[in-house]
Chain A
Amino acid sequence: MEALQTLTWSDTWYLSPELVLSGFAIALALLDLFLPKQVNRNVIGWLTLAGLICAGVCVVLLLLSLGDGTEVNSAEPFHSLLGGSYRIDNFGNLLKLVFLGSAGFIVFSSLGTVKDEDVPIKGEMYYLVLPATLGAMVMSSSGDLLTLFVGLELLSITSYILVAVRKNNRISSEAAFKYVVTGGAASAFILYGMSFLYGITGSTNIALIYDGLNSAIENSEALLYISFFLMIAGFAVKLALAPFHAWASDVYQGAPTPVTSFLAVVAKGAAFAMLYRIFMGTAFFAIGSTGFIQKDIFLGLAVLAAAAMIVGTAGALRQRNVKRLLALSGVANAGILLTPLALSLTQFHTSMFSEFIYYFIAYAFMNIGVFSVLTIVSRDSGNETLSGFAGLYHRAPWTAAAAVVLLCSLAGLPVTGGFFGKLFILFGTIQTHTYWLGAIMLATTVVSYAVYFTLIRQMFMRSGELDTGLKMTFPAGITIWICTIATLALGFFPVPILNWINDVFSIQFDFLVFRG
């Protein structure tokens, strides 16, 4: 064990995104407390956005300062703090950028869009996004089980409050309570699973666990299995993977729509980041007495992914409430997003991180876009069911057109980011000869056409009760259009971003496997 390494002043630069966020969070909490009641809380929203942007700039600067481990760029490929328990590397920075961007769009689109009657404590809704995002960033940047868990809890606890900010709404309080109970149980599962890893290897540091695993594995293979499967179960709840997804529909429905999209994008992404950190750091190349343990972990994850795709899509078919529908679509998408990680653990041994992050970026754009449309539509019609969308084409043809693009992307139709994201993941299943998983993915994708085209049918082929124009707010309109254009751009030009990810990301430096 190395001597305990402490933080120095020079390290603050590496922690700048996290420090900026916590600074803003504290300052805004105090501001909300002391600001007179009659002042519009949108001010706090704009300041939250400013905080997210500042943190985003810091992440970009850090990303540029890191090298890629080749001779061409000789800068250090990653920087580790506190004895490797906190890591500034490209994996973390890429994900942080996505989280900050998503949170930024979500906050921006809700400015002036969320009604006071719906969320009486708007200031709180805005500034709590900051610690939640901070938690997500810690989860994507830690190299130690304990730090990871701290990040997870920071994100989870703030999310519980965020779900409950519709104070006068019974469904919202009920959702928050359900979320606390299931989320808490999930955290306990994860922690229990982690404790086995610590018990077997004597360390909480992922790099040291990796070193210790292969020697410890002979005596404690069964314990290792228990550990992995407990963690998988815990994460499955956090990711809303079937059959652990029952909370998702209720919570998504109860939360204010911007918070729902935060849960669908940032919270889900953060759980994936943590899963990657732990599983790529330990399960990749873990060898047991009967061969590769990772083969069984792969199978567990693949079955979970398949179940999520099937259950999510089938459930969404009968859903009339759009938020619950999107929650179940999120379950199916979590299955798709889990597939690349599962495939990375097959014997074919390759990292499918680019496939994951590409689809995740596409997923973020299409979800934020669709949720923004939903916010605007439900604000006008007063209900969140499918019939609220009826006749949208007649009221706002361009918004309806944007929604078609976003929904086509969710359905995986070309030429959109969602199409290529699914295509690359699908090609991974073919490459590793996991044909059954590919077939399930394709079949559920086709069934999901029925889900998303139900919405499109409402918009284009039915006439609604309202025939006045749709009241669009400026920030929401901008967000919808940026998401739509980004979705199309990812579809027509997927190569630049994939090239870039391939250049900066490396399993060798980011997950510390193959250190020779």
Chain B
Amino acid sequence: MLDNLPVLSLITFAPLVGALVVLLLPAARSNWLRSVAIIFTVIPLVLSLWLFAAYHPSSGGGAYSEQATWLSIPLNIETFKAVDSLKLVFDYHLAVDGISLPLVLLTSIVSTMSVLASVHIRKRWKTYYSLFLLLLTGIYGVFLARDLVLFFIFFEVTLIPMFFLIGIWGYYGREKAATRFLIYNGLGSAAMLLAFLILIGTLGFSMADGSNLSFTGNYDVLLSNLSNPNAWANIDAAEMRGFGIFLTDNARWAAFLLLLIAFGIKVPIFPFHTWMLRVHTEAPPAVVMIHSGILLKMGVYGLIRFVLFLFPEQSHSWSTVLAILGVVNILYGAVLACVQREFKLVLAYSSISHMGIVLLGIASLGEVGLQGALFQSVSHGLISALLFLIVGSLYERTNTTQLDELGGLAKAVPFTSGILLLGGLASLGLPGLSGFVGEFLSFLGLFGSMKWLTAIGVLGILFAAVYVLRSILNITYGALPERFADMKDARFVEALPMIALAALIVLLGVYPSILTDLMQHGFDGLLEQLQTRVGG
């Protein structure tokens, strides 16, 4: 039934339609606004679950791909002889494969839980829900777009709603956090755009029947030009006599580094992480669920899709650097998480540590490690969404997230405390829960090539046990402060997303092949490139 529909466009733009519907509703009807927001968040969930069921890893996602020319801009050709047309072409191109599908699923699940968790939002619902839905369109677009400019636009579209979501509904330091978020990510986007334009201006060049020239941002074209030694971009600069479409080695390295910085800020890689600490502590928990659960994964996705696939040689020669960055992230995050007094900061540093494991998986440049990186991204998305969901519920009741002020909550809110323990155990990598699988695969992947770095990285897991247990015991055990005595446990609307996320974490831990099967052929192209270009 769904086969003939543009499923990917529906997934991407359903939330946008929802945002427009929300804008037309009266601002005072919070229930209507909430229901519409939930409906338009669930539509992509249903569609992506269908996609998940119908997707065959061996045949790839080609059947769902949508492509049309969006912009075809004529450039001036009066100074060129024998040229009929010179165009700058940007496509509307959405596609799905083994790398993007897990992240689309993650987005649809986490966003649904987050919209449910938005009950705690107390003011300006109409603006909140319309921005929330706009943000979702941006995220889906990022994971599905296959044209560089389209990707960039979706990437930027996530910035504006996030700025408002942090700045209006956040805690005390919200405005500073919002501005810092905007500037850091803006810098990342600027680096990305420069790199993209360099690629479009070189790899994107093609010539049809000798006199119709074009520059395109289509990812597939770039990828095939990259490996084609006869492509214009790969021809020696001296032969081109000043016609600037060749891609020199320096330009390649520059683009590689720019993209590494761009996505490194998003991941975030140490030392570009300061903005994300503030977002974690200042944004409302429902928004942090999206931020920590999904937005950080946009960085991982970008690293795999653009850095690894487009620059296999550069990535290969920098794989040690990537691994070192990963280890630094792991240890820096883990050590600092051990000494925080604010639970949200513990979680923020733990995110940095976990994203370091993802970097290790990426640095391995092998099938196992890459699958581990992606698995770890999905798993961390679910776990941190769950933990921040609980943070939101606890803050509603206690008005604090300082570890010193909390305690004994296991007596007052046994259900929430139980789920918190489960989330914590998943986060420290207990076998049988999803966190273990991702970490295991990532470390395993890297162990073959860099034994020492892997060994140092594994230390992070020890620290994880320390900081997770320390903070959870602090919250749930001990004497219950008097003022929490008549606290009530989670309501149904809060419990539902908690149960759902916890169930998924257990499911992925027990039965990881649901996800690894999906990814199976996702990295084929990259591995092939690595084989032929770098010689394994």
Contacts and interface: CB of A to CB of B under 8 A. Distances in A.
Given A414-B156, A414-B157, A502-B76, A348 B244 contact: yes
Contacts of B157: 414-415
A423 B88 CA distance: 11
B201 interface: yes
A427 B201 contact: yes
A251 B72 CA distance: 41
A495 B197 contact: no
Interface in A389-439: 393, 397, 408, 413-415, 419, 423-424, 426-427, 430-433, 435, 438-439
A494 B71 contact: yes
B200 interface: yes
Nearest to B124: A393
Nearest to A507: B78
A506 B74 CA distance: 13
Nearest to B190: A442
B164 A427 contact: no
A498 B201 CA distance: 19
B76 A430 contact: no
A413 B72 CA distance: 20
Interface in B237-257: 242-244, 254
A77 to B, nearest CB: 13
A408 B186 CA distance: 13
Given A430-B201, A457-B179, A354 B153 contact: no
B66 interface: no
B168 A443 contact: no
Contact of B75 (A350, A439, A447): A350
Given A443-B190, A514-B78, A453 B163 contact: yes
B156 A461 contact: no
User: For the complex, would chain A's binding face be called helix, strand, loop or mixed by DSSP majority?
Assistant: helix
A189 to B, nearest CB: 31
A438 B74 contact: no
A507 B80 CA distance: 13
B223 interface: no
Given A438-B194, A495-B71, A498-B73, A450 B183 contact: yes
A414 B70 CA distance: 15
User: For the complex, would chain B's binding face be called helix, strand, loop or mixed by DSSP majority?
Assistant: helix
B153 A495 contact: no
Interface in A354-369: 354
B244 A453 contact: no
A348 B153 CA distance: 29
Contacts of A508: 78
Contact of A430 (B127, B163, B191, B198): B198
Contact of B78 (A419, A435, A494, A506): A506
B480 interface: no
A174 B516 CA distance: 72
Contacts of B77: 350
A447 B74 CA distance: 31
B149 interface: yes
A498 B87 CA distance: 11
A390 to B, nearest CB: 13
B175 interface: yes
Q: Which of B149, B159, B168, B197 has the most CB of A within 10 A?
A: B197
A349 to B, nearest CB: 4
A393 to B, nearest CB: 8
Contacts of B80: 350
Given A438-B194, A495-B71, A413 B156 contact: yes
A485 interface: no
A287 B148 CA distance: 39
B79 interface: yes
Contacts of B79: 349-351, 507, 514
B252 to A, nearest CB: 13
Contacts of B156: 413-414, 419
Interface in B189-233: 189-191, 193-194, 197-198, 200-201, 215
A353 B215 CA distance: 19
Contacts of A350: 75-80
A415 B153 contact: yes
B187 A446 contact: yes
Contact of B72 (A414, A446, A460, A495): A495
Contacts of B243: 348
Contacts of B75: 350, 354, 502
A514 B80 CA distance: 12
A443 B189 CA distance: 10
Contacts of A424: 73, 88
Interface string B148-175: 0100110011011001100110000011
17 contacts: A354-B75, A414-B153, A423-B149, A423-B193, A424-B88, A427-B215, A431-B244, A439-B194, A442-B194, A446-B186, A450-B179, A450-B182, A460-B167, A461-B175, A495-B72, A498-B74, A506-B78
Interface of A: 347-354, 393, 397, 408, 413-415, 419, 423-424, 426-427, 430-433, 435, 438-439, 442-443, 445-447, 449-450, 453, 456-457, 460-461, 494-495, 498-499, 502, 506-508, 514
Interface of B: 71-80, 88, 127, 149, 152-153, 156-157, 159-160, 163-164, 167-168, 174-175, 178-179, 182-183, 186-187, 189-191, 193-194, 197-198, 200-201, 215, 242-244, 254
Given A351-B79, A506-B78, A507-B79, 10 more contacts: A350-B78, A351-B78, A419-B156, A435-B194, A449-B182, A449-B183, A456-B163, A460-B164, A498-B74, A499-B73
